[in-house]
Copies of this chain bind each other. A is one copy, B any other.
């Protein structure tokens, strides 16, 4: 393992301290228990709290700020945060209109957010994100995994909450957006957790993992590397199949938001190539990508690989996507 680190056990704390120092006007990192909040809290809006295992940066703390999250609870690497973290985050934000937990569907996260939801004295609700089309049931979860669609849910619900939406309308919109999102990822390499010191899984020099999870969980198949166009075609087809399974129609000229998301070790030039190949394929389906993100948004430490997420837009969701956002890793209009 070759990484910029000191003591592996201290990696997360040092990294979060750096996040805090780099964005002092925007957010605040708290320790014992560990949670991150906006620098300036508005208790009179619905308070959005997310969290999950670390190693997916900028998810979630990088999305704290105006128009998106109010707080995030980073667990240890690839490990759920604990209920005391969520409760401390909610207590700090003192929500007068309720707290909304945005939870990726992994068994540990689901259980710990449920415990926090039961134990906190504040009104609350949860959105479960499960946008990964790859597999049903996996190493860390029952049902479908939550992956990069989470960024879209957090942006859209964050916008509604910022603009006065109440708890119920935020939950409903979040569930709708999750339903309209579908993702699939491909790994070219494994990833290495600092405390483990060795790759999470082995993969041959000419192999890829199609449908990989963001912790290196197995996907649909291990196969030979092939041209990007061919890989991306299968990715788009898997997503479209997933939409069909959810009874979501894709009539001609449907407007889409597309995220081409790097897993941490893949350069931007390759992500734009994937974007290009994906657009060509979607044009064949007569679907229109009208909004997009290309970059590292939901990573798996240093994994080489990428995922594609499509979200079926409507005017309401598109408008909320376009509202100003000011976070460490997503910013526009402000």
In A261-298, which residues have CB < 8 Å from any B CB? 264-277, 279, 289, 292, 294-296
Contact A57 B4 (CB under 8 A): no
Among A17, A269, A299, the most chain B Cβ lie within 10 Å of the Cβ of A269
Q: A57-B267, A58-B268, A279-B21 given as contacts; is B273 within 8 A of A5 (CB)? A: yes
Q: Mark A18-31, 1 if CB is under 8 A from B, else 0.
A: 11011000000000
In A75-127, which residues have CB < 8 Å from any B CB? none
Say if the beta carbon of A16 comes within 8 Å of chain B: yes
Note all chain B residues with C-beta closer than 8 A to A294.
Answer: 18, 22
Q: How far is the CA of A222 from the CA of B206 in the complex (A)?
A: 29
Say if the beta carbon of A244 comes within 8 Å of chain B: no
Q: How far is the CA of A85 from the CA of B231 in the complex (A)?
A: 33
Q: Which of A42-50, A136-144, A326-334 contacts B (4 or more CB under 8 A)?
A: A326-334
Q: How far is the CA of A21 from the CA of B269 in the complex (A)?
A: 13
Q: How many residues of A contact B (CB 8 A)?
A: 63
In A167-209, which residues have CB < 8 Å from any B CB? 188-189, 205-206, 208
Note all chain B residues with C-beta closer than 8 A to A3.
Answer: 188, 270
Q: How far is the CA of A234 from the CA of B86 in the complex (A)?
A: 39
Say if the beta carbon of A306 comes within 8 Å of chain B: yes
Q: How far is the CA of A267 from the CA of B264 in the complex (A)?
A: 5
